[in-house]
Amino acid sequence: MMHSYHAPKADPGSSKPEILKTAKRRRVPSTLACLVLTAFLGNSLAPTGAIAFTSPELTCANSWDLVQSLLKRHISFRGLDSELRERVIDTYIERIDPSKTLYLSHEISKLRNQLKGVFFAVQNGECGLLDEIRSDLVERYERMQEEVTSYVSREAYALDTDVRLILDPGKRGHPPDDEARLGLVIRLVHFTMSNYLSSDMELEKAKEKLIHRYELMTKRASELEPRDTYADFLNAFAGALDPHSTYYPPEAVEDFQIQMSLSLDGIGIALSSKDGYSIVERIIPGGATDKTGALEPGDKIIAVAQEKEEPVDIIDMSLRDVVSMIRGERGTTVKLTILRKSDTTERFDVAIQRDKVTIEDAAATLDFHEIEVAGTTRKLAVLDLPTFYGDADPSKRQSGRDVRDLLRQIREAKAEGVLLDLSRNGGGKLESSVDIAGLFIREGGVVAVKNVFSEVQILEDRDEDIVYDGPLVILTSRITASASEIVAGAMKDYGRAVIVGDDHTFGKGTVQSFIHQPGRLGAIKVTTAMFFRPGGASTQHEGVAADIVLPSLFATDDLGERYAPYSLKSQMIPPFLSMPSRVSNSLSSLTTPSKNWKDLSDGVMAELRRRSTLRVSSDDEFIKINEQLAKFAEEDDVIHLAEFIREREEKEAEKTASGDGSDSDEKNDQASDEAGASQPEDSEGKTGGKTPESYTEEEDEEPTPQRMEALRILADLVGLQETARSSWHAPQSASRLESSSSQQ
The helix (H) or strand (E) run that includes residue 258 is: helix 250-261
What is the share, in percent, of the chain residues with pLDDT greater than 70?
79
| Per-residue model confidence as pLDDT tens digits over 285-299 | 888 999 999 999 999
| Per-residue model confidence as pLDDT tens digits over 419-474 | 999 999 999 999 999 999 999 998 889 999 999 999 999 999 988 889 999 999 99
Report pLDDT for 208: 94
Q: Which residues contact 131 (CB under 8 A, 6 or more apart)?
A: 226, 229
Question: Is the Cβ–Cβ distance between 103 and 97 less than 8 Å?
Answer: yes
Overall average pLDDT of the 271-283 stretch: 91
What is the share, in percent, of the chain residues with pLDDT greater than 90?
62
Overall average pLDDT of the 10-37 stretch: 34
If you average pLDDT over each of 194-203, 444-453, 584-593, 632-641, which comes out highest? 444-453
What is the average pLDDT score of the chain? 82
The domains of the chain, with CATH numbers, are 30-36+363-616+705-739 (3.90.226.10), 47-246 (no CATH), 263-358 (2.30.42.10)
Residue 646 confidence class, pLDDT cut points 50, 70, 90: confident
Overall average pLDDT of the 494-503 stretch: 95
Report pLDDT for 658: 52
Give the type of residue at 615: R
Question: Is the Cβ–Cβ distance between 429 and 555 less than 8 Å?
Answer: no
Q: Is the pLDDT of residue 56 over 60?
A: no
Q: How many CA atoms lie within 13 A of 412 on its CB side?
A: 7
3 state SS for 159-171: CCCCCEEECCHHH
Please give the backbone phi and psi of residue 66, each rounded to the nearest 5 degrees, phi first. -70, -35
Overall average pLDDT of the 559-579 stretch: 92
Q: How many CA atoms lie within 13 A of 71 on its CB side?
A: 15
Give dist(CA 549, CA 498) in Å, integer: 11
Overall average pLDDT of the 592-620 stretch: 81
| Per-residue model confidence as pLDDT tens digits over 342-363 | 777 889 999 999 999 888 888 9
List beta partners, residue 273: 278
Q: Which residues contact 366 (CB under 8 A, 6 or more apart)?
A: 381, 382, 383, 384, 406, 409, 410
Overall average pLDDT of the 715-728 stretch: 80
Q: Which of 508, 512, 476 is nearest to 492 (CA)?
A: 476
Give dist(CA 200, CA 491) in Å, integer: 51
Q: Which of 317, 283, 149 is nearest to 670 (CA)?
A: 317
Report pLDDT for 467: 94
| Per-residue model confidence as pLDDT tens digits over 28-44 | 332 333 344 533 322 22
3-state secondary structure of 725: helix
Check residues 40 and 688 and name the one with the higher pLDDT.
688
Check residues 174 and 3 and name the one with the higher pLDDT.
174
Q: Is the pLDDT of residue 157 over 70?
A: yes
Report pLDDT for 231: 96
Check residues 254 and 68 and name the one with the higher pLDDT.
68
Q: Is the pLDDT of residue 326 over 70?
A: yes
599 DSSP assignment: P
Question: Is the Cβ–Cβ distance between 421 and 385 less than 8 Å?
Answer: yes
Q: How many CA atoms lie within 13 A of 173 on its CB side?
A: 9
| Per-residue model confidence as pLDDT tens digits over 357-410 | 888 888 999 999 999 887 889 999 999 999 999 887 877 889 999 999 999 999
User: Helix 705-725 crosses helix 602-618 at what angle (to 10 degrees)?
Assistant: 150
Overall average pLDDT of the 114-132 stretch: 97
Report pLDDT for 235: 97
Question: Is the Cβ–Cβ distance between 20 and 576 less than 8 Å?
Answer: yes
Q: How many other CB atoms are found less than 10 A from the CB of residue 319?
A: 24
Report pLDDT for 257: 84
CA dihedral 711, 717, 718, 723 (to 10 degrees): 160
What is the separation, in whole angstroms, between the first and last Cα of the chain? 21
Predicted model pTM:
0.81
Report pLDDT for 1: 30
List beta partners, residue 269: 283
Report pLDDT for 656: 52
Residue burial 548-560, b: 16+ Cβ < 10 Å; e: rest: bbbbbebbeeebb
Q: Which of 411, 401, 467, 407 is nearest to 439 (CA)?
A: 467
Give dist(CA 703, CA 685) in Å, integer: 32
List beta partners, residue 429: 36
Give just the sign of the alpha carbon dihedral 381, 386, 387, 392. negative
> CA-CA distances (angstroms) from residue 469 to 385, 441, 466, 716, 721?
18, 7, 6, 17, 12
Report pLDDT for 686: 38
Give the type of residue at 297: P
Overall average pLDDT of the 133-158 stretch: 96
3-state secondary structure of 681: coil
**Range of lowest pLDDT (400-404, 525-529, 663-667):** 663-667
Q: What sections of 116-175 are H helices per DSSP?
A: 118-123, 128-152, 169-172
Residue 546 confidence class, pLDDT cut points 50, 70, 90: very high
Give dist(CA 299, CA 531) in Å, integer: 45
Question: Is the Cβ–Cβ distance between 363 and 388 less than 8 Å?
Answer: no
Q: What sections of 303-462 are H helices per DSSP?
A: 319-326, 399-412, 430-437
Task: Provide the CA 214 distance to its chain's centre, in angstroms.
Answer: 28
555 DSSP assignment: -
Residue 691 confidence class, pLDDT cut points 50, 70, 90: low
Give dist(CA 510, CA 449) in Å, integer: 9
Give the type of residue at 511: V
**Range of lowest pLDDT (42-51, 136-145, 458-467, 534-543):** 42-51
Give dist(CA 197, CA 41) in Å, integer: 32
Q: Is the pLDDT of residue 680 over 80?
A: no
How many residues in total does the chain contain? 744
Q: Which of 153, 55, 42, 149 is nearest to 98 (CA)?
A: 42
Check residues 545 and 630 and name the one with the higher pLDDT.
545
Q: Cβ-count burial of 530 within 10 angstroms (0-12 exposed, 13-18 middle, 19+ buried)?
A: buried
**Range of lowest pLDDT (169-178, 349-358, 684-693):** 684-693
